[in-house]
Amino acid sequence: MHYTLKAPILGFERIMEVELTKIDDLFSRVSSVDGTISMVLANPYKLREYSFSIPKYIELLLELNAKSHVEVYCVVVVQKNLEDSMVNFLAPLIFNPDNGYAAQIALSIMDYPDFGFRDTLKSFVQAKSVRLSS
């Protein structure tokens, strides 16, 4: 699905439109419409207990309300051995498929000390018996 970024992806501030493609229940891919970037994303809820508050300004930017269907993904830094790939739980991407708006937020480690930005997939695979295919 095509999304307009209302708050940029960190490090890619010039990218304004992206395409979100689901690979399976765990992984998705986000790519800039112009083809300059592509990142693997993970559904954090398939890996661990994951809960945070969406800042009010993001709610307003994405036009979220109580009936909104929100999708949340975390960036994966893919390694040669997939299980060594790292997930950034501190900078989730929020998607509102109801209107095609998306944004990335930066969570404070002070507020969410259990979230890391380099947690490996293998630490969750063992804990939850998630099956990864290479």
Mean pLDDT by 10 residues, the chain (134 residues): 96 96 96 94 95 96 95 95 92 98 96 90 68 52
Paired tokens of 128: 């939850």
Task: Say what the pLDDT of residue 123 is.
Answer: 85
Task: Note the pLDDT of residue 127.
Answer: 52
> What's the DSSP call for residue 9?
B
Question: Are 41 and 74 within 8 A, CB to CB?
Answer: yes
Q: What is the pLDDT of residue 134?
A: 47
The length of the chain is: 134
- Reported pTM: 0.88
- What per-residue confidence (pLDDT) applies to 132? 56
For domain 2-112, say whether CATH 2.30.290.10 is its number: yes
Continuous segment of H or E residues that includes residue 57: helix 56-61
